[in-house]
Chains A and B, each alone.
Chain A
Amino acid sequence: MFDRIREKLGILADAAKYDVSCSSSGSNRKNENKGLGDAEGTGICHTYTEDGRCVSLLKILLTNHCIFDCAFCVSRRSNDIKRAAFTVEEVVELTMNFYRRNYIEGLFLSSGIFKNADYTMERLVRIVKKLRDEERFNGYIHLKTIPGASEELLKEAGMYADRMSINLEMPTETGLKLLAPEKSHEEVKKPLNFIQKSIATFSDEKAIIKSVPKFVPAGQSTQIVIGATPDTDKEIMHTANAFYKNFSLKRVYYSGYIPISYDNRLPVIGTQPPLIRENRLYQADWLMRFYGFNVQEIVNDAYPNLEVDVDPKLSWALRNLEQFPVDINTADYRMILRVPGIGVTSALKIVQARKFGKLRQDNLKKIGISFNKAKHFIRYADSPMQMQDFEAGHLKGIILSESHSKYQKKPISQLSLF
């Protein structure tokens, strides 16, 4: 018994880990029934894996049996691996007992598709329903939308889950068709759209009638695998941007492809996952969501790929030197936010603090901006006389030589595959 559950957990956690989302924030589920758990407010990472990823949820598959044969997926039909399946009770017990010990914020439940979409979705719904109704569990639940599942089941799932997600997998339709002929972006859009509409309906009703139940309060997300197909960063970011806009997604996750197959359509096993590129994509994503950048400013036909040696914000600044220097004491918030080396928190502090007098170098350093980077782009009360206008390439050289980037000192082991 003991060994069997250990083996199942091993197999089904291993198969689930390629879904990178581990967010447990953004919900508003309070513990109002004196049950277990509370999913209100910010998420908590209870530990981090050795690769530095947050562990916030018990992330497992219900089963890794799957009728599909997607080349990029470790659970694909044709892959010769051990298969396992949890019972409904086992998932419930694991979740409750892990939560009680403060190991996790909740459950991330996904599944291979066995028999058909509805059959699978129905099993997932049964688990979350039992957790909520019988165990009075108020922790966070992230539930996978199974493509092709009926709207009735999706609606029922949404009544219990905090977040739902369905993965685009490949950034472009052609890429997806190449690796997973049985899938399409269309069948991802349909449920995304249905759930988004339902969220809107529920929130409209809630504005009028307070007793309307919650429906996917933490919204929807998706994941794009990068580096498995020859798509450019421009294609990836524009896809992400469109999905943020069209489906009000909370997050788009970018997952560097980890070679798990000898399929010749894919990078071979042993190839390093594109970690730097993944990091740059997240930075670009942040620029779109929190820094007021338009996707066109970050990647476009002239610059289809993000630079590897500098972050996308610095890269943008170097391409647009005519917009600098920015005067810290007079520029508007929007422009201060665009200075390399100044984040949202510092930008807010700067705008508040300057009401009390002109800010000087030591103020800025204390506020916590990355001064060595920012100094090339700003003017402040005691800034030195400007000697000369730098040319972009020269400036980049200076910044790189003065900074300790986590990347540039290492040899670039990331080979271009295509």
Chain B
Amino acid sequence: MEFYVFDGTLEGLLTAIFYAYQNKVKVVKLVSEEHYMPDVFDRRFTVISEDEKAKRVWKGLRAKLNKDWMLRMYKSFLSEQPGAYQDIFEFARYIIDNPAGAEENYGNTYVLAVSQMAQKVHREKHRMEAFIRFQKTTDGTFYAHIEPDFNVLPLLIDHFKKRYADQKWIIYDLKRKYGLFYDLEKVQEVTFDFATEMSSNLNALPAQLLDPKEELYTVLWKDYFKSTNIPTRKNMKLHIRHVPKRYWKYLSEKQDFE
């Protein structure tokens, strides 16, 4: 079995596609350095990311796929799932090898796999848009941290920038150790050295860092959540399907701290 080992970046993945054509290989297993397990019987080809080659492949795909599909490939890539890398690789080759329009063939394993993974990532992005809860800090910045299943921060920029144009905000991914910071002009990537490991719980910021009115609004929101419920209609199964338990840590209304 021949292995293509790449650096885990999108550029690397696209470069690998380029080499698959240059080397005229048919069957190849694409793995990122992180997931690669060396085996004496395997042949290894190390893919060095190259901007030029990656761009050529991207352009080639762009000529056949609309924006939606390009975004789907990107979302699928952000899943960081080893299987997804292979699916994108095969999908891209299927598109390149076939006449335009092949992406509509949901009977093809890779077309379906890429579109389904993209959908999963999209759902996680949407959940973050819903479940992020900002806390206002003493300097007026609104802070939230998350631990999403997939690397969705890049997909959140546009949404939060448009929406919170008049307030500074930070969304930090504790798992991947980087965040987004909006300074009223632009969004930039930031990393912090938290002195101690930050708890993933919602109320992890020390009280002295919070705006004096923060507590009031947290309490009012919890009150509202309670008042708007209709007890005779209670249906916890449905509730949990919509708000899976692993997201409760983000939600002030699901915390008991009174």
Contact = CB atoms under 8 A, between A and B. Distances in A.
Given A2-B216, A44-B126, A35 B165 contact: yes
A97 B218 CA distance: 10
Given A47-B251, A52-B238, A258-B230, A102 B133 contact: yes
Contact of A50 (B104, B129, B239): B239
Scoring B132, B230, B236 by chain A CB atoms within 10 A of each residue's CB, the highest score goes to: B230
A51 B130 contact: no
A353 B107 contact: yes
Contact of A353 (B104, B232, B237, B242): B104
The range of chain B's interface size is: 35 or more
B131 interface: yes
Contacts of B234: 50-51
Interface in A315-371: 349-350, 352-357, 359, 363, 366-367
Contact of A6 (B164, B219, B254): B219
B221 A101 contact: yes
B228 interface: yes
B227 A17 contact: yes
A54 B130 CA distance: 11
Scoring B102, B126, B213, B239 by chain A CB atoms within 10 A of each residue's CB, the highest score goes to: B239
Interface string B149-168: 00000000000001111110
B223 interface: yes
A9 interface: yes
A350 B105 CA distance: 9
Contacts of B144: 102
B104 A136 contact: no
Contacts of A58: 224
B225 interface: yes
B178 to A, nearest CB: 20
Interface stretch (B63-71, B78-86, B134-142, B188-196): B134-142
A34 interface: yes
A144 B162 CA distance: 27
B124 interface: no
Contacts of A55: 225, 228
- Grouping DSSP codes into helix (H, G, I), strand (E, B) and loop, the B interface class, with mixed when no group exceeds half, is helix
Interface in A33-68: 34-38, 40, 44-55, 58-59
B112 interface: yes
A101 B108 CA distance: 43
B199 interface: no
A38 B162 CA distance: 7
B78 to A, nearest CB: 20
Nearest to B226: A10
B253 interface: yes
B217 interface: yes
B235 interface: yes
A14 B228 CA distance: 6
Interface in B202-258: 213, 216-217, 219-221, 223-225, 227-239, 241-243, 251, 253-254
A97 B132 contact: no
A31 B161 CA distance: 10
A275 B237 CA distance: 14
Interface in A259-273: 272-273
Interface string B77-116: 0000000000000000000000000101111100010000
A359 B167 contact: no
Given A36-B167, A47-B225, A258 B104 contact: no
A34 B162 CA distance: 8
A83 to B, nearest CB: 15
Contacts of B107: 353-354, 356-357, 359, 363
Nearest to A52: B238
A366 B165 contact: no
B106 A272 contact: no
A9 B163 contact: no
Nearest to A103: B221
B134 A101 contact: yes
A136 B167 CA distance: 13
Contact of A349 (B106, B229, B230, B235): B106
B9 to A, nearest CB: 30
Interface in A363-390: 363, 366-367
A392 interface: no
Given A100-B164, A101-B135, A101-B136, A273 B104 contact: no
Interface of A: 2, 5-6, 9-10, 13-14, 16-18, 30-31, 34-38, 40, 44-55, 58-59, 94, 97-98, 100-103, 136, 256, 258, 272-273, 275, 349-350, 352-357, 359, 363, 366-367, 406
30 contacts: A2-B216, A13-B227, A13-B228, A14-B227, A16-B228, A31-B165, A38-B162, A46-B131, A47-B130, A48-B239, A48-B243, A49-B239, A50-B231, A50-B239, A52-B241, A52-B242, A59-B228, A94-B220, A100-B134, A100-B136, A101-B135, A103-B221, A136-B166, A273-B232, A352-B105, A353-B104, A353-B106, A356-B102, A366-B106, A367-B112
Closest 6 CB pairs of A and B: A52-B238, A51-B233, A13-B227, A353-B106, A356-B105, A48-B242
Interface of B: 102, 104-108, 112, 126, 129-136, 142, 144, 162-167, 213, 216-217, 219-221, 223-225, 227-239, 241-243, 251, 253-254
Given A47-B130, A49-B225, A52-B242, 13 more contacts: A6-B223, A14-B227, A17-B229, A44-B130, A51-B233, A53-B233, A58-B224, A98-B217, A101-B217, A350-B106, A356-B102, A363-B107, A366-B106
